[in-house]
Chains A and B, each alone.
Chain A
Amino acid sequence: MNSHDVVIVGSGLAGLRAAMELVGHLDVAVVTKVYPSRSHSGAAQGGVAASLGNVDDDSVEAHIYDTVKGADYLGDQDSIEILCGDAPRTIYEMEHLGCAFSRTEENKINQRAFGGHSAQRACFSADRTGHALLHTLFEQSYKQRGKLQIYSEWHMNRLIVEDGVCRGVVVMDIRTSKLEVLQAKAVLFASGGYGQAFKITSNAAANTGDGIVAAYRAGVPLQDMEFVQFHPTGLYQHGILLTEGARGEGGYLINEDGDRFMSKYAPSKMELGPRDIVSRSEQTEINEGRGAGPNKDYVLLDLRHLGRAKIMERLPQVFHLAQDFIGVDCIEKPVPIQPTAHYSMGGIPADNDCQVYLDDKGAHVTGFFAAGECSCISVHGANRLGTNSLLEALVFGRRAGKKMLDVVPGLQLAPVDEERELAAARREIDELYAGDGTEDISVIREELKQTMTLQAGVYRDASRMEPAQTKLDQLRKRFAKVCVKDQGKSFNFNLLEALELSNMLEYSELIVDGGLARQESRGAHFRTDYPTRDDENWMKHTMAFRTEDGGHELRYKPVKVTRFEPEERKY
């Protein structure tokens, strides 16, 4: 059994930033099922928020207010104050580490407009901001080579929590299928979101909520799982992200008739309304027959008026994605787009130092931390503003690191029954080989994705979600019959897919059930049968607890309000 002071699961911005804080002081290891530079933080395009005021007047207060309002008042305001207050320092730090940012004529970091932000606040590196930030931290990991152990291509199977104390993780070397226990004084999950459960998604194949489900199965509740953000500009049918920066740079959204339809839905912000509102507006246009194309099932992102030079300088990736994936030259033609599942607002509940909560009363799991998209701190509430997620990963990754540096020296390696843990992980794998094989992994996965996109997507109501509930229940029963066909030990991706699908089936129920229970519309969760926000009954976080029988119980906890009382959300 290997042991480390700290094991970090996930190698995106949050995980690497935390590691940077710890390396050299504690024995720290990073576990990732890909390679660090492949992490999904790198796919973020448009920018990272900070009120630097390099382009126009801005303030931390304005950033806080925009984020609280964007979150539709479900965000915890004390956490949002930390997020926005620490943003300028975070950007300067990344710049000092070598991140290449696009610049203003005064040679400062350039900033562009983004949805729901009242100032030009998005610092950017062309339209590859996540890539630039992730690679900067990956480069820094080379500075620590030899001191920082990275388990690349290791899957995390189980989190070990006993008596409220986190003791380590069970992991599997994808190269050999060997299971191992990594014992640790503290574990940080920075394992990303859960958007793979949807058919149309901008998420990487790796975003299957492994960390979230491992925590949940270990007895940790999950918070606000029903809140899934749909990004307005997913490439038609592919779901691939086209940055909001395209609209920040002046791009239009038009329907079949060429009308800029956002004038009806968010007249003051137009295309730069927050994502939930813009996605719903697109879906309304499509549902009411004003979509484009032979099936009238998409709308258009029009960049033609920006001209070649601006597109190639500021939005080169958008140009290439449209060209390579659907053969559209965005300099000459508008690009077909549709809402795409993008960001998981829900996740593992944690405090402002990323210490994970064990219940809805404020007790913690000793030695267990969560940061980044897998966590729910909650800075994004019911709807995240674009550019706040890269910021969150960096700010809270660092805070998690600092807190661990503070508390881990006072912790012992808690005893682990290695045999029992390995046997439990082995049993979960054996079950995937034990089915009669009458059901197929890829068929179940496809049906799950269809169900989630069509019945728990941009628009929801009881008549869609109740059948979805039944469907998910059936899918879980059918999943018991699958049999992994690959018997090999080396790079058995067939087995890995089955483990991931098991996770997806488990958390999808929480999205649907949390959504059904929440009889209101707030942020990304919009119910046509309850179309208004209900602060009296629903200004509270959902907490889903796993029950003995594999089901769950929903409880709720209040939202933290510091300075902004809820008001009507208009743009």
Chain B
Amino acid sequence: MASSKVTFRIQRFDPEKDEAPRDQDFQLELEPGITILKALNKIQAELDPTLALRYSCGSAICGSCAMKVNGHARLVCKTQVSDCVKDGVLRVGPMGNLRVLKDLVVDMEPFWDSLDKVKPYLAPDPAQAAPEKERLQSPEEFLRIDPSTTCILCGACYSDCNVLEVDKSFVGPASLAKAHRFIFDSRDAETTERLRKISEKTGVWDCTHCGECSTRCPTEAKPLERIEEIRVKAMTEGHHGNAGARHVLGFRETVGRRGLLDENYLPARSVGFFNIPGLLSIIPVGLRMMKRRKNPPLRPHSIDKVDEVKKTFARFEELRK
């Protein structure tokens, strides 16, 4: 196979010189089968030694080299140049949702801090002394936490999370995957407390399940899947006293009743009917919607075959039991 010419369009930022990030093009003659990391190293060696990026293991396990390729976060050490070139151009930039410090290097501190919010370590039963040997755990119990333990904390999910883009208080997908790793660990004694806490605001219900995190995740951790497993467990174990759970229940109630979402009922159901400050807080949103004529009809209606929907719901309930 012949070598090929590729233009690397790299976002540069030197805090000592630049006011704002800028793009710089580098032309490279590349052999086939080269990874983006090796190509970036080639730029450092041959074209511009000031290009700053983080990397270490080169084998997709240390998690250092997540950055944006053509607008999406990836580990560059395991990504082939040939898979990402579009019309001879490959764009590289720093991760999103984190402040750029230099070129492709971002401030990771908010990411590390976010993990702290989910008590990211095993909490065994303090009343029970650890056995002399290992705690027993079945192969199935191991497999339940196996995906979430593969997380390498690269930050790719954090970078591309759509919720974090608008709400920095969200704990983020990596932290939720980390929480999953303990919530589903048969050796952990604080499952209930973890579920209660993670069901609160900024936690598991703040995810809008856009799926970016799982799409960008370079391992089997797949945060969205872990988030959904946490939600199901939280609901099953009766953690209903929070907006997220009430939203789910309200959703089921209105669809079960009318075959349609009742969008007037749902917000009030989610914040809680007796939560006066909460109810007051959503009034301005409602007014703004009315002003722009985006509000749902004030009198809810039902679909024609609502009996069919009710039957389906009844069948699901039976199956669930």
Chain A residues within 8 Å of B, Cβ to Cβ: 34-35, 37-40, 42-43, 52, 91-92, 95-98, 100-109, 125-126, 128, 131-132, 135, 139-140, 142-143, 145, 175, 202, 204-206, 238, 240-241, 316-317, 320-321, 324-327, 440-442, 484-486, 488-494
B108 within 8 A of A: yes
Contacts of B103 in A (CB 8 A): 491
Contacts of B139 in A (CB 8 A): 102-105, 107
Partner of B56, one of A34, A102, A317: A34
Give 1 or 0 for each of B141-173: 1 = CB within 8 Å of chain A CB: 110011001101100000000000000000000
Tell me the residues in window 123-154 of chain B with beta carbons closer than 8 Å to chain A beta carbons.
124, 130, 132-139, 141-142, 145-146, 149-150, 152-153
In the assembled complex, how far is the CB of residue A191 from the closest CB belonging to chain B, in whole angstroms? 14
The answer to whether A491 touches B62, judged by C-beta atoms less than 8 angstroms apart, is: no
The answer to whether A108 touches B134, judged by C-beta atoms less than 8 angstroms apart, is: yes
The answer to whether B146 touches A100, judged by C-beta atoms less than 8 angstroms apart, is: yes
Q: How far is the CA of A442 from the CA of B47 in the complex (A)?
A: 11
The answer to whether A100 touches B120, judged by C-beta atoms less than 8 angstroms apart, is: no
Q: How far is the CA of A38 from the CA of B150 in the complex (A)?
A: 14
Q: With contacts defined as CB atoms under 8 Å apart, how many contacts are there between chain A and chain B in the complex?
A: 163
Partner of A489, one of B16, B133, B181: B16
Contacts of B152 in A (CB 8 A): 37, 42, 131
Contacts of B79 in A (CB 8 A): 324
The answer to whether B121 touches A142, judged by C-beta atoms less than 8 angstroms apart, is: yes
Known: A96-B135, A97-B122, A143-B121. A102 touches B16 (CB 8 A): no
Partner of B61, one of A91, A131, A175, A441: A131
* Interface-centre pick from A37, A39, A238 (highest chain B CB count, 10 A): A37
Interface contacts beyond A38-B63, A40-B62, A238-B59: sample of 17 additional A-B pairs, CB < 8 Å, sorted by A: A37-B62, A40-B56, A42-B62, A43-B59, A92-B134, A98-B124, A100-B142, A100-B185, A101-B137, A102-B142, A108-B133, A175-B101, A202-B59, A240-B58, A489-B16, A490-B16, A491-B105
B191 within 8 A of A: no
B225 within 8 A of A: no
Q: How far is the CA of A95 from the CA of B108 in the complex (A)?
A: 29
Q: Can you list 15 contacts pairing A with B, beta carbon distance less than 8 Å?
A: A37-B153, A38-B56, A40-B62, A42-B61, A91-B134, A98-B121, A98-B124, A98-B187, A100-B146, A107-B141, A316-B220, A324-B79, A441-B49, A442-B46, A494-B49
B116 within 8 A of A: yes
Known: A101-B142, A139-B122, A140-B121. A488 touches B50 (CB 8 A): yes
Known: A103-B138, A206-B56, A486-B49. A34 touches B64 (CB 8 A): yes
Contacts of A145 in B (CB 8 A): 116
In the assembled complex, how far is the CB of residue A461 from the closest CB belonging to chain B, in whole angstroms? 31
Q: How far is the CA of A128 from the CA of B152 in the complex (A)?
A: 11
Give 1 or 0 for each of B218-247: 1 = CB within 8 Å of chain A CB: 001000000000000000000000000000
In the assembled complex, how far is the CB of residue A435 from the closest CB belonging to chain B, in whole angstroms? 14
Q: How far is the CA of A131 from the CA of B151 in the complex (A)?
A: 9
The answer to whether B116 touches A205, judged by C-beta atoms less than 8 angstroms apart, is: no
Chain B residues touching A, range: 35 or more
B115 within 8 A of A: yes
Contacts of B52 in A (CB 8 A): 490-493
B33 within 8 A of A: yes
In the assembled complex, how far is the CB of residue A146 from the closest CB belonging to chain B, in whole angstroms? 10
The answer to whether A128 touches B61, judged by C-beta atoms less than 8 angstroms apart, is: yes
Give 1 or 0 for each of B183-220: 1 = CB within 8 Å of chain A CB: 00101100000000000000000000000000000001
In the assembled complex, how far is the CB of residue A459 from the closest CB belonging to chain B, in whole angstroms? 26
Tell me the residues in window 85-130 of chain B with beta carbons closer than 8 Å to chain A beta carbons.
101-103, 105, 108, 112, 115-116, 119-122, 124, 130
Contacts of B33 in A (CB 8 A): 326-327
The answer to whether A126 touches B63, judged by C-beta atoms less than 8 angstroms apart, is: no
Q: How far is the CA of A95 from the CA of B122 in the complex (A)?
A: 10
Q: How far is the CA of A92 from the CA of B136 in the complex (A)?
A: 11
The answer to whether A204 touches B138, judged by C-beta atoms less than 8 angstroms apart, is: no
Q: How far is the CA of A105 from the CA of B62 in the complex (A)?
A: 31
Q: How far is the CA of A128 from the CA of B102 in the complex (A)?
A: 32
Tell me the residues in window 33-64 of chain B with beta carbons closer than 8 Å to chain A beta carbons.
33, 35, 44-46, 49-50, 52-64
The answer to whether B55 touches A205, judged by C-beta atoms less than 8 angstroms apart, is: yes
The answer to whether A139 touches B120, judged by C-beta atoms less than 8 angstroms apart, is: yes
Q: How far is the CA of A161 from the CA of B312 in the complex (A)?
A: 77
Partner of B57, one of A40, A52, A316: A40
Contacts of A494 in B (CB 8 A): 44, 49-50
B14 within 8 A of A: yes
The answer to whether A325 touches B78, judged by C-beta atoms less than 8 angstroms apart, is: yes
Q: How far is the CA of A524 from the CA of B55 in the complex (A)?
A: 29
Contacts of B112 in A (CB 8 A): 35
